[in-house]
Amino acid sequence: MQWSIRALPWLAAAFLAGSLSASTTVYIGNYTEGDGAGIYRAELNEATGELGQPVLAGAARSPSFLAVHPMLPRLYAVSEIAEGRVTSFAIEPDGSLRSMGAQSTRGAGPCHICVDPSGGAAVVANYGGGSSASYPVLPDGSLGPAASFIPHSGSGPDPGRQAGPHAHCAMTDPAGHRVFLADLGADRIFIFQLDSGSGEMVPNDPAAVFTPSGGGPRHLSFHPKGKFAYTNLELSSEISQLGYNAESGELRVLETLSTLPAGFDKPNSTAETLVHPGGNFVYVSNRGHNTIAAFRIAGNGRLSSIGHYPTGGEVPRGFGITPDGRFLIVGNQKSDSLVVLRINGESGALEATGFSARAPSPVCVRFFRK
């Protein structure tokens, strides 16, 4: 296989990172209304993509979204329940999780959490409560009580999904100076300044960007260079490119593309959006079409479709890209399966590896390297 000159530095870095990794643990979030009992873990062979059989790592109620501390062996999980909470876990040497305590999210149905790049603060999005909360990360890696709680406002044209705000994602910029809350119900992304020392957040000026009406922004992923971000519109099955001004915090919608192939007219909604660590590709999961939509990112941030790749299961929701950028692991919520796809470093296309594993209603995939 031929590799372009542009791809060689990234491939060398990926190879080095993979070579130095002693072990990579995959943590899987899910819902516990069915067979799930909490957060699961499995070992990944990054040389081949083979995934071990998941086992229970730590008990939790509907841990639908996970975040791993950037420096400490700590994991955070929201419990997407009526009295929302977020739990801190210590990652033990064997990969199991030890609870370090929980904090209230002060809103119903928390569905997303992020930790800023310095590891000093965490932010939660409450879907049912239409609000967000931020927390200081204490010296031992646990979370202190909420330093900020901010109710959202706004609505959209879809009366069933957008009668009021529904925060769906919290994501910092690469520098960690601001945090962005994608709100599906309000058709906008709220922007806050974040103090990583105290964990407090305050509204930015500008305080929000409106996304295409009725689209319902769900998740947000920044390009590693920090000049662009991408959000998937759950209700309209689209992806929007956003320009980012790091000085002011302003986001601007630059273009919006469909995540579906021409002619597909059956029900679909998008779920996860992730930019590849190398910065050349972005991926979106399609629930209904049951594919990952892949796009190439040009130098100016604009997108062009690469293709649509089957996930080998039904209702692909969350997925993760390994830190070395070689594999994408997708959780198929309805078919209780995790499927490993290989990422072609030259084209961005996804290729079947033949490796998969069973897990109850997997909806979030995150990685920890020892």
pLDDT computed for residue 16 by the predictor:
42
Q: What is the DSSP letter of 143?
A: B
Residue 299: band (very low, low, confident or very high) from pLDDT cuts 50, 70, 90 = very high
Q: Put the strands of the sheet holding 85-91 in their side by side order.
A: 65-68, 74-79, 85-91, 97-104
Determine the longest span between alpha carbons in the chain, in angstroms: 53
Residue 22 has pLDDT above 70, yes or no: no
pLDDT computed for residue 21 by the predictor:
45
**Residues 238 and 257 sit within 8 Å (Cβ to Cβ):** yes
What number is the average pLDDT over the span 190-209? 98
pLDDT computed for residue 15 by the predictor:
45
Instruction: Specify the pairing of strand 74-79 against strand 85-91.
Output: antiparallel
What number is the average pLDDT over the span 53-75? 97
Phi and psi, residue 324, nearest 5°: -85, 0
Among 9-23, 84-98, 353-367, name the one with the lowest average pLDDT: 9-23
pTM > 0.85: yes or no: yes
- 289 vs 46 pLDDT, higher one: 289
- Summarize pLDDT for 131-160 with one digit per residue, the tens: 999 999 999 999 999 999 999 999 999 999
Residue 362 has pLDDT above 60, yes or no: yes
pLDDT computed for residue 46 by the predictor:
87
The residues facing 42 across adjacent strands are: 26
CA distance linking residue 235 with residue 216, whole number of Å: 5
Rg (CA), the chain: 19
pLDDT computed for residue 152 by the predictor:
98
CA distance linking residue 128 with residue 262, whole number of Å: 33
Among 4-8, 168-172, 221-225, 280-284, name the one with the lowest average pLDDT: 4-8
**Residue percentage of the chain with pLDDT more than 70:** 94
22: left (phi over 0), alpha (psi -120 to 50) or beta: alpha
pLDDT computed for residue 33 by the predictor:
84
The residues, any chain, with a CB within 8 Å of residue 93's CB and separated by 6 or more, are 370
What does the block give as tokens for 217?
A: 């922004």
The residues, any chain, with a CB within 8 Å of residue 5's CB and separated by 6 or more, are none
CA distance linking residue 242 with residue 150, whole number of Å: 24
Residue 36: band (very low, low, confident or very high) from pLDDT cuts 50, 70, 90 = confident
Q: What is the mean pLDDT of the chain?
A: 94
| Domain 61-207+239-258 coded CATH 2.130.10.10 | yes
**Residues 231 and 244 sit within 8 Å (Cβ to Cβ):** no
* Residues forming CATH 2.130.10.10 domain(s) in the chain: 1-54+270-370, 61-207+239-258
**Residues 66 and 29 sit within 8 Å (Cβ to Cβ):** yes
Could you say which of 2.60.260.20, 2.130.10.10, 3.40.50.1110, 3.50.50.60 is the CATH number of the domain covering 1-54+270-370?
Answer: 2.130.10.10
CA distance linking residue 185 with residue 187, whole number of Å: 6
Residue 232: band (very low, low, confident or very high) from pLDDT cuts 50, 70, 90 = very high
Residue 20 has pLDDT above 80, yes or no: no
Residue 12 has pLDDT above 50, yes or no: no
Q: Put the strands of the sheet holding 24-30 in their side by side order.
A: 55-59, 38-44, 24-30, 362-369
pLDDT computed for residue 355 by the predictor:
98
The residues, any chain, with a CB within 8 Å of residue 7's CB and separated by 6 or more, are 278, 280, 345, 346
Sequence letter at residue 367: F
3-state helix, strand, coil in the chain (%, to 5): 5, 50, 45
Residue 209 has pLDDT above 50, yes or no: yes
pLDDT computed for residue 11 by the predictor:
43
